[in-house]
Structures are given as C-alpha cells and as structure tokens.
Amino acid sequence: MKAEHAQSRIAALRAEIGRHDELYYRKATPEITDFEYDVRKHELAELEGKFPQFASADSPTQKVGDDRAQGFVEVAHRQKMLSLDNTYNEVEVRAFHTRLTKLLEVEDLRYTVEPKIDGLAVSLTYEDGKLVRAVTRGKGDKGDDVTANVRTIQTLPHTLTGAAPRVVEIRGEIYLTAAEFERINAERAAAGEDLYANPRNLAAGTIKQLDTSEVAKRKLAIVLYSLGYCEPEAVASQSELHDQLRAWGLPVVEKIWPVRGIDAAWAAIGELDGLRRSFAYGTDGAVVKLDAMAQQRAVGATDKAPRWAIAYKFKPDTARTRLRAITIQVGKTGILSPVAELEPVLLAGSTISRATLHNEDEIRRKDIRVGDLVEIEKAGEVIPAVLKSFPEERVAGAAEFDLFALVGGKCPVCGSGIARLEVAAEEAQGVAWKCQNYDCRAQRTGRLGFFCSRRALAIDGLGETVAAKLVELEWVKDQPDLYDVTLASLATLNLGTTEELRIFGEKNATKIVAAREAAKALPLEKWLYALSVPDVGESTARELGRRHRNFVELADSTLLKAVLQKAELLAQREFEAPASRKNPAKSDEDKARRKELCARLDAEIAALDAGVLAGAPADIGPAVAASLLDFFAGEPGRRLLAKLRALGIDPQGTVAEAGVLTGKTFVLTGTLPTLKREEGEQKILAAGGKVSGSVSKKTSFVLAGADAGSKLEKAQALGVRVIDEAEFLKLVAGQ
C-alpha cells in the first residue's frame, strides 16, 4: 500500500473506531459486534506499525476507551485503570509468553487463567474496610463516581469481613444475569416498549442513571477479580488475591486456573470455553495474567494496557444460512438501511431470521447478493450481522445489490424521492441514501421514539410500538403533538391487530403523562437534541444551549450568522490572496489591491473572533450553522416552534451573563483541596468562562490539583498558565 493510501485509510479507521467507541462506551448502544470492532482496530494497529510517520498519541490504538457521562462527578483513580490487549489467535498468546520470558529472563512462568466478563468495568475503594467510593474506568486515569448506584447492588458488601488494608482499590465488572435481563424485557414487551439489545448494554446504561431508585429496580450484580492501589500490600499473587477477595466476603468468579507454563494456560483456556456458558455472567474470552505481582510490577504497562496480561477472545458464534431477500428500513433522519431477511437458523441459543447489512457500500464490498449462502454472527448478543457470502455457491443470475433500483428511486414508506449523500449522517456509517420527505411516516415514528428516549426527554413507557401506533393514527405529526393526546386516549390505545386486542392501559398512560409534564422543565439543550434538528448532536446542543436563551433567539441566532459570515470572509480571502492558485494576480497593481482587500478581510475576521465568536466551540462550524438556520427558517422548523408556543413550552438556555472569566477557557485536572470538580466547573460557567476537556494553545488556564496527569504535562509543554485552587478562587472573585 502506498503511503498516501495508508494515510487515508488510517484516518478513515480512526474516525470509524472513534464513532463506535462513543456508541459502546458512552451510549451503550453498539452497532457492530466485538469481533467486527476488533478487526478494524487490528487493521489500524498494523497500518500504524507499517507507516510510523502517521502514528498519533490520539489514535484509538493508544488510548483507553472513555465511558464518562454527563451528570457525574469525575474522580481520579489512585492507580490507573487500564484496558487489556486482546487476540483471537493462539500464536499471539504464545508470543505474549515469549515476550515475558525475555523481559523477566525466566522460562518457567506461573499464570492464572480467568473468565473475561462482558460487563462494565468498575473500581471500588474501601478505606479501613468500609466502601467509600465506586468509580467507572472512564479514560483510565479518571472515571465517573457511581457510588450511590453501586450501593444498590445487593450482592456487594459495604464492609469487608476480617482484617483489611487501610486503603484498597478492588476492580471488577458490573453485569446483569440472563434471568434478570429476560424479566426486564418481558415487562417492557407487555408495556409495548422497545426491548433492550443485550445484558451488557443494559447494565452499562443502568449504572449511569442519575436516579438510584431506578437503578435499584434492575437487580445489577458484580464480580471482582483484580487489585489497584493497595496500602499496605495485602497479597503477593493473583491467585492469592482471589482467595483474599473471597475471605473479605466479596463476590468472585466461579473458577480460576493457576497454571505453570503457556501450554497449561492454553489448555485452561479450552477448559474455560467448555464451562463458560454455565456462568451467571456473560463471558467473551479468557484473561491470562502473570501470577506473581512482583513480576507484574517488573514488566509494567503501556499507556493503554498492562504487559503482564492478555485477553484471548473466543471466536463469536456463527452460522450459515440463505439470504432470502434484502428489505429497507427508514430511520428518523430518513436514512435508508438495508436489512437481511434470512432463512431461520439457530445461533447462540436463539432463532435468527433477520440481520443488519449496514449500508449499500458494505454490501457491495462483501459482494452479498439475494439467494447467497451467507455467514452470520451474533457476538455479545447484539443485533446479528452478515459477515460474508460464499460466491462459489451462488445461484446463477444473482444480481449485484442496487438500493436505488430495489426501491425504484423512491422511499419505500412514503413514496417520496431519495437522494444519495456523499457525506452521510451519523447513523449511515458512510455514503447513504436518504428520503427527502421530512414528514415521511417512518421518520416521524423514529423522531417520536427518540424524543421520548432516555437520551432525550426520558418519557418512559413510549417505545417504538407506541410511537408507531400514534403516528399511524395521525394523533402525532410533530413530536410536541404528544402533549395533545389525552390520558383517556392513551389508556385505550390498541397496540394489537384487529384480531388481537392489546390495550395500552391506564397505568402505562399515566406514567407517560407524568413524564411528559416533567419534561417541560428541561433546558433548551435537551429539547434541541430531542427534536432531532438536523446535524445537532448532544455536544452541539449543549454548546448552543449555553449561548442562546430560548428557541426564538436560536432560530435567528447572531452566533450562527456570524459563523457563516466568517466562513464567507475566509473563502473570499483565500480567493483574493495575492498568491492565490484559483485566481492568480495579473499585475503588481492587482497584487497591491488584493493585499489591501485581504487586510480589510483579516480585520473583519479578527473582529468576529474577538466579538460574537469569542469562545465559540469548534464543532459549531458553517455546515452546522447553515443546517440550523435553514431548518428553523423552513416549514418544519416554523411548525415546531409554533406548536411549542401554543403549548406554552419555552425551554430556557443556560446562558451565563458576561463575567470576570468571559472569553477564558479552563481545563481541570487532578484533585482539588476543597472544591469538587463540578463545583469548579459551575463557578467557571457562572463567571462567563468555558470548560474544555483537553489542553491546547487556546487554553487560558489549567486548574491543577493533586495527582494531575498528562494534561498538566501538556500545559507545561505548551506554555499554558497553570494555577492552583487558591489562584482560581482569586480569579473568580475578580482579583
């Protein structure tokens, strides 16, 4: 592969993996299987190895996945909480052993082999035997404080049995049993709500709930298996640790294999594979660890993973079947997504008849055609995916897939025209076809379902089934129309067919009415995101909500107009530059004229940057600005705003008045002496400043506390001013 092609592929893989990291770690809604994800990450690592000139510290191959979420206090781990290197290959497991023998100059190494649990990683801190804190892995050095939620786990003791260290961090996984997962989904099915995809995602989403009473209703479980910081030292080996955890009364894995040598470790992996389906928690592999902790410390770790452990991941369950047809689904943004209709086949304990095909380009890349024998995969119990076809067994005349031809150039739901997007929306994963009718029934249903989702307005009880029925009956056209549907109408809603009467019921209807009333008080950023305004994700909605007082101000936004104005000025300046390639100067007089014009343009751009655009986030660019202004100027946007006015709903932005910190950007790192992180952030925002998660040359101050890490180092390297809590409080006070 040529360097320029490698650079392009590396950039594409980083963007794709970054998107899947966001879906997996932050939103608990993965779209691809672990195996598909690992294949992409392995390809990226190989390319970065072959082309080191394109390596980057920000690459997904060099970082721990970040599971932090809004609404939680960020807490530093006393000892970093890393991820694991993984492989699907016996050769690489043996290569791991070879590396360790060279590092330690010891041939006869002892290991433990343990189940790799498919849950949410968490670190528990016990002080003098008392549980004081529970923190998610976050980004490795810091995570979210979920102590209140973890305390609802009935199997977890809050006090250790017997003698305990003064301070100890104990790591493990939070999970849901299969029985509890099935119970929750059965209740949701009875209420006409969407079903959860798999236990891991539900456990991850549950632990990040802000309402502990809701967390308690879902009977989370936990299993503990490793050690972080410990003072004084309690054990000398990994195998001793499991005995000690059990002695402290903590829930542990059913079985570990203490072994000597890599041959015995490989045999133990095979034994675990035969037993793992009987465990209470989901497992997707085996973890091989050096047993002696002195040896663990000796070999150390990279920024991402310990050198003394490796995860061998079991190959996902696959099956072969025939592809009967490819049907098309339409999402809330109008993207047309192909779905595989399969001859039913038993896979991982369930009968599969449908699977995702992602998009048209993916189908063509894999050369999948109707009638083909295909291999499907169901790893981690996510939506099954079609992995590949077998062209050698293809029936004669099978045509290459053509989405446009399949639907006759029209949306299969509303019959409107479709257009190909070269730069597709987030859910399209590349190029895609999109229905051009905003009022398409499928889009209306998708938007209503999203409007009520936990990520948006959290109107519990209104899932896909109920949303589809409300749109079908024409009771809801735009999302706010939900407020016009009476309690009596909701209670008598028939979710079944004419042959099967299935009434929604007063209890479920009452829950929706109460939740929609509570949603009226949510801020502008939540409503903006919930209304599925084109090109507005959570981060963009949050920034816009901080800079606009309400929808009226946003619809005619001075900020957004300034973003477009700056883009036009920059384009004009590039065109008029004396050395412009697109418009070469014809004479010295022409160069002088252009130089004077460019100076005026530079002054206008600088005035915008210092004025209206001061502190504006980078993700509000001209494309987003144009999309927002066009939407609110168009018929759908005007209709939405008119409906909100009629309902008396006026969500407010979190605009801070100009203050002593206006125009200043802060990055917080480490543990402050008295202030909690969110208290510091609130003080900055209240004083007109901005909080960023990363250090750059544009950062005004880095507020550093104890155990500050890489952000402090980067600030020092860039010459960014570093302040402590005392200096910060003086700044806030205007001193």
Let me know: does 138 contact 80? Beta carbons within 8 Å: no
Report, as an integer, the average pLDDT of 524-535.
Answer: 91
Boundary (domain end) residue, out of 392, 420, 435: 435
For residue 58, give the DSSP letter.
T
Report, as an integer, the average pLDDT of 290-318.
Answer: 91
Same domain, 426 and 474: no
Residue 69 included in any domain: no
**In angstroms, rounded to a whole number, what is the distance separating the alpha carbons of residues 447 and 104?**
58
Q: What percent of the chain has pLDDT over 70?
A: 91
Q: Is the pLDDT at 326 greater than 50, yes or no?
A: yes
* pLDDT (tens digit per residue) in 152-185: 998 999 999 999 999 999 999 999 888 888 888 7
Q: Which tokens hold the place of 541?
A: 């909605």
Supply the CATH number for residue 172's domain: 3.30.470.30
Q: Is the pLDDT at 429 greater than 50, yes or no?
A: no
* pLDDT (tens digit per residue) in 616-642: 776 688 988 999 999 999 999 999 999
**In angstroms, rounded to a whole number, what is the distance separating the alpha carbons of residues 97 and 262?**
7
Q: Residue 583 — left, alpha, or beta (φ > 0 → left; ψ -120 to 50 → alpha)?
A: beta
Boundary (domain end) residue, out of 469, 502, 519: 519
- State the residue range of the domain holding 29: 3-62
**Paired sense of beta strands 86-87 and 309-313, if any:** parallel
666-677 per-residue burial string, b: 16 or more CB within 10 A, e: under 16: bbbbbbbeebeb
Query: CA-based diameter of the chain, in Å?
Result: 89
Same domain, 163 and 274: yes
Share the mean pLDDT of the chain: 86
Q: Is the pLDDT at 382 greater than 70, yes or no?
A: no
Same domain, 366 and 491: no
Q: What is the pLDDT of residue 517?
A: 95
Q: What is the pLDDT of residue 678?
A: 66
Beta-carbon contacts of residue 57 (< 8 Å; ≥ 6 apart): none
Q: Which residues are catalytic?
A: 116
Residue 294 included in any domain: yes
Q: Is the pLDDT at 150 greater than 50, yes or no?
A: yes
Same domain, 49 and 81: no
Q: DSSP for 536-565, please give it.
A: --HHHHHHHHHH-SSHHHHHT-HHHHHHHH
Residue 265 included in any domain: yes
Q: What is the pLDDT of residue 100?
A: 96
Let me know: does 188 contact 463? Beta carbons within 8 Å: yes
Most confident of 40-49, 90-99, 698-707: 90-99
* pLDDT (tens digit per residue) in 591-611: 899 899 999 999 999 998 888
**Paired sense of beta strands 665-669 and 690-692, if any:** parallel
Beta strand extents in 139-193 (DSSP E only): 142-144, 167-175
Supply the CATH number for residue 385's domain: 2.40.50.140
Q: What is the pLDDT of residue 332?
A: 86
Q: What is the pLDDT of residue 426?
A: 37
Confidence of residue 65 (pLDDT cuts 50, 70, 90): low
Boundary (domain end) residue, out of 293, 313, 333: 313
Report, as an integer, the average pLDDT of 287-316.
Answer: 92
Residue 658 included in any domain: no
Residue 269 included in any domain: yes
Q: What is the pLDDT of residue 34?
A: 67
Our CA angle for 149, 155, 161, nearest 5°, is: 110
Let me know: does 114 contact 46? Beta carbons within 8 Å: no
Residue 88 included in any domain: yes
Q: What is the pLDDT of residue 518?
A: 94
Backbone angles phi, psi at 132, to 5 degrees: -115, -20
Q: Is the pLDDT at 379 greater than 60, yes or no?
A: no
Same domain, 26 and 40: yes
Residue 26 included in any domain: yes
Let me know: does 171 contact 122? Beta carbons within 8 Å: yes
- Position 392, amino acid: E
What three-state secondary structure class fits 347?
strand
Euclidean distance between the first and final Cα of the chain, in Å? 58
Most confident of 35-49, 234-248, 581-595, 717-731: 234-248
Q: What is the pLDDT of residue 193?
A: 57
| Pick from 249-253, 441-445, 665-669: least confident | 665-669
Same domain, 304 and 353: no
* Distance, CA of 701 to chain centre: 28
Same domain, 349 and 420: yes
Q: What is the pLDDT of residue 224?
A: 96
**In angstroms, rounded to a whole number, what is the distance separating the alpha carbons of residues 479 and 471?**
10
Q: What percent of the chain has pLDDT over 90?
A: 47
Supply the CATH number for residue 448's domain: 1.10.150.20
> What is the tally of structural domains in the chain?
6
Tell me the residue length of the chain.
Answer: 735
Supply the CATH number for residue 728's domain: 3.40.50.10190
Same domain, 233 and 332: no
| Pick from 70-74, 512-516, 520-524, 651-655: least confident | 70-74
**In angstroms, rounded to a whole number, what is the distance separating the alpha carbons of residues 235 and 293?**
8
Same domain, 515 and 541: no
Residue 655 included in any domain: no
Same domain, 552 and 623: yes
Q: Is the pLDDT at 423 greater than 50, yes or no?
A: no
**In angstroms, rounded to a whole number, what is the distance separating the alpha carbons of residues 504 and 491?**
6
* Distance, CA of 194 to chain centre: 20
Let me know: does 409 contact 327? Beta carbons within 8 Å: no
Q: What is the pLDDT of residue 552?
A: 94
Q: Is the pTM of this model over 0.95?
A: no
Same domain, 512 and 548: no
Same domain, 232 and 305: yes
If one compares 589 and 476, the residue with the highest pLDDT of the two is: 476
